[in-house]
Structure 1
Amino acid sequence: MMRHQRLEHRFVEHIPERLKPGVHYVSMEYATSAHSCCCGCGEEVVTPFTPTDWKMTFDGETVSLRPSIGNWTLKCRSHYVIDRGKVIEAGPWSDEQVEAERRRDRAAKERFYGQSSKVGSPIQPAPIKPAPSIWHRMWTWISGRS
């Protein structure tokens, strides 16, 4: 059972250091979004917007993410879809399903980014501008720079 049945979206430039549960932060500038896991475990879930990762749609009122969010590396292993702000719980996946999806994801990145599938050949996705560190933001605030 998901603790959060809906997520209120907030368009922000930078994802905040602390995520408020039930809020879906969307940074168009950094092509990413983040929210506190909808199961209520409190873990941060980050979803980059790339041709091979997540797609975000905004219909003027609500935000949707595709594909589903499978938190396979988290203790909770939650799995859900965010559709027009609603959190829709999806079924659990076996370890075999998770590994098959990881293989599919690697293959999609290799096809899109034109990388060799040779062992040891790193896949280099398009760079995403990282959010400034907390220290950088504090220095900017202290020094009055924007």
Structure 2
Amino acid sequence: MRHLRLEHRFVRNVPRELEPGILYVSIDYATAVHSCCCGCGDRVITPFTPTDWRMTFDGESISLHPSVGNWNQKCQSHYVIQRGRVLEAGSWSQTQIDAERLRDKKAKAAYYGKQHVAHSHSAEQPIKDRPDTGWTLHSIWSRLRSWFSS
């Protein structure tokens, strides 16, 4: 890891150019953004939702839970942000990554009201949709798009 500590900054909008070593936290958009701690420079977005990340601010530092796994990025770095410190969490196999993606997909489907039937040899298919509650995955992504375009 190139960056072993992240200084936090509470912002409304994240700047276009990220300063390495800074964790930008937007309460308005329920999201934190930082430059990948491995040093590759990729933008890492961690939305705060019941199925994604949780942020803890103890008055001095920020922690994110669960770990940050950059599986879609070339570096595939994996780390924990705990009280502003960056703790390397080790690489994962493709099997572990696939299992986590499936777990995440199921968690989102369960929380946002879609049930999926998972079979080891077939793709998951939605069974039913839940009525709109005002807090949907769609609204989160709309807020994020709005945030980045401002």
Q: Same fold (TM over 0.5)?
A: yes
TM range (shorter): 0.7 to 0.9
Between the aligned partners of 2:64 and 2:10, the Cα distance in structure 1 is: 14
Superposed CA offset, 1:75-103 (max 9, x none): 11000000000000001100000000001
Whichever residue aligns with residue 114 of structure 1, its letter is G
Task: Please give the TM-score of this superposition, normalised by the length of structure 1.
Answer: 0.86
Distance 1:101 1:110 in 2: 14
Query: Would you tell me which structure has more strand in proportion to its own residues?
Result: 2
CA deviations over 1:38-70 (Å, ceiling 9, x no partner): 000000000000000000000000000000000
> Pairwise mapping of residues 1-146 of structure 1 onto structure 2 (< 5 A)?
2-117=1-116, 119=124, 121=126, 125=137, 127-128=139-140, 129-130=143-144, 131=147, 133=149, 137=150
Runs of 5+ unmatched residues, structure 2: 118-123, 130-135
- What is the rounded CA distance, in whole Å, between the counterparts of 2:79 and 2:148 in structure 1? 29
Q: Residues of 2 paired with 1:116 and 1:100: CA distance?
A: 18
1:109-140 deviations in Å (ceiling 9; x for gaps): 1111111316454986261223051xxx4xxx
Aligned length: 133
Instruction: Give, in whole Å, the separation in 2 of the partners of 1:71 and 1:7.
Output: 17
Q: Distance in 1 between matches of 2:125 and 2:93?
A: 27
RMSD (Å) for aligned C-alpha atoms:
1.7
Moved over 6 A (4+): none
Q: Which runs of 5+ in 1 are unaligned?
A: 138-146
> 1:52 & 1:107 partners in 2: Cα distance?
10
Q: Return the alpha-carbon distance in structure 1 between the equivalents of residues 78 and 35 of structure 2.
A: 13
Partner SS, residue 127 of structure 1: helix
Pick closer, same or farther for the CA change 1:60–1:126 going to 2, 3 Å. Answer: farther
